Each structure stands twice: as C-alpha cells, then as structure tokens.
Amino acid sequence: MEISREGLDDVLIELYQALQTTEGRNEGTRGPTKELLGVTVRISNPRCRLSRSEDRGKPFSALGELLWYLSGSDKLEFIEPYVPPYKQDAVDGVLPGAYGPRLFKKGGSIDQVANVTALLREQPGSRRAVIQLFDAEDIVVRKTEIPCTTTLQFHLRDARLHLSVAMRSNDAYLGLPHDVFCFTMLQEMMARRLKAELGQYIHHAGSMHVYEDRFEAMARYVEEGFQRLNPMPEMPPGDPFEIVPILLDAEDRIRHGDLVVAGDLFEEAYWADIVRLLQVFWASGRPTRLDELKAELSGQMYRTYLEGRRHKNERLPRMRKMLGGDV
C-alpha cells in the first residue's frame, strides 16, 4: 500500500481508514493489533508535520522526543515527562534502543549525522548517505525495547534533500505522528546545513499497525474528517545543529523552573517559538503564564496547541476527582 499526500493529516485519514477495514491481524508485543504489511507514505510538504486534530496534534511530546534525540541521551529522566510510557521499557533508568546515542555516538564514537553531512558535501549524489539505527545485535539478546526504525537515507537531488525512513514496525496511532515530526525536523535541519531545499519525506513500514485499545480513538479521528493543512514556518538559514546546545540548555533551565526569555536567546522568531513551546509544556496548571506565552508566540498556528494544553490542564483535576485521584 502506498499513500502520497501533502501533509500528516492527509496521510492519517487514509491510513486509519485502511486499518479500520483490513482483515490483517497480529498479536503484537503489547496486545492484539490490526496490521497492514509493507506500507509506504510519501509526504510532499514535510513542514505539514503537525496534525490539526486536538487528539493527534502532539507538538509538545514530539518536540521533547526530538530534543532527546539531539541530546544524544538514552536516559529515561529526560524523556519521561514528555512520553511517560517509555518508563515501561527502561532498564535501570536507560532506554536500550534510544536513537540519540545511535545517531551521534554509534559504537561509542561514530557521529553518523556528521558523517552523512561530510559525504553529501563531497558527493552530493551519493546513495550511501545512510544512518543505521537497528543493529543485528538488537535481536541477539531479548530486550524490552529496540529501535523500530532501521535506517534513515538522505538523498540530495537537484539541490533538494529528500529523506527515506525504513521502519521494521510502526504504531500508526501513537508512533507515526511522532516519527513524522522528529524525522522531518531532522530532514529540514540537514537541508539547512547543506544549503539545500526541503524535498519529499518517504516513510516505509514493514508492519504498520494499531493496537486494539486504540481502535475507538482512531475511529473518532476519522470521524473528525479532513483537517486544513497548516505547515510550520521554514527554518531560518544557517546550520541548526549549531544552536542545539542553546536549545538543550534552555530546556533544562525551563524544566527546573528558571526564568527564560526566548527572545533573548534567539533573534529568529522560529527558534524563539520552539523555546516558547517548551515553556508552554512546563507551565502546566499556570493559566497566567500560558496567557503570557500566548501573547509572545509569533507563529499563530502554535496558539491552537497552547489552548489545547490549557484545556487539558483544566480537565485533569476534574478527572482525578471523578476517578479518586488515579490519573
């Protein structure tokens, strides 16, 4: 099956409809699934990486996961506030399949991102610009968690950078929106570093599936109907990897309650808004602070997600009361 669409929401609607009607089933590691084998997704505008749906729009957790990758960390402590289910797979506070170390410290020392950059600068048409995340060793010893992504291949063609991602396994409901966000952000960062335009994003999953406990939620998303595409702004010129340490330092300070003024860190509205999104996430239960951040956000599209965060915060106390505190 192949789905070619402009953005994430277009893809999800068609994919979820196909999963609803498929006869394919499989017993996954976390329970029964509906499954499609050999699914390829092509997104022509990778900046349409955020769903407009209240349920599928995940800018905060996806951004946290992206920064986790870029930090090179495998520590649960970093990612758990953004994606709590990772706790189930951690071993002594470490995620064995974490992508960060495999991207930037493969085998303890190989920076695959830097190597691909150097290769494409020297040989722009190379077909060897491949980052490997899944290892043969990953199935020698039975682990609770191993990479779902096998490879990322960058294609520099006619001054446009395309990215092909191969997945051995892909959770269409929980995983795919995060994967599209993180990998297309990495794609755009690499494009800026190489002074290239952003090309297509191509995503292939050997097993594309949805777990039984998400069938109803998936059906509700389909019932919402098509969402208006709203791409993120273009990244500013320059090498985004050079500002990663500033972003990580800002995230750490925000996490620990320090006052951070995004506009003092970045002149570009793009990166200042990324910092503000982190501040929105950590401003849980502080409506006055959310109002301040809403006024500061340059990108109008992000304000919808801020309001969604506000409403979620308002619902949680009621839910805890109804469920006796078990939320």
Q: Residue 115 in contact with residue 130, Cβ under 8 Å? A: no
Q: β-pairing, 160-167 with 197-211?
A: parallel
Alpha helices in 48-168 (DSSP H): 59-71, 76-79, 99-104, 112-122
List 43, 79, 103, 148, catalytic entry? 148
Please choose, from the candidates 199, 229, 235, the residue with its C-alpha nearest in 3D space to the C-alpha of residue 42.
199
148 is catalytic: yes
Residue 301 to residue 231: CA distance in whole angstroms: 9
What is the signed CA dihedral for 233, 239, 242, 247, rounded to 10 degrees? 10
Q: Residue 248 in contact with residue 70, Cβ under 8 Å? A: yes
Alpha helices in the chain (DSSP H): 8-21, 59-71, 76-79, 99-104, 112-122, 175-193, 215-224, 244-255, 262-265, 269-282, 287-296, 301-322
Alpha helices in 72-200 (DSSP H): 76-79, 99-104, 112-122, 175-193
Catalytic residues: 148
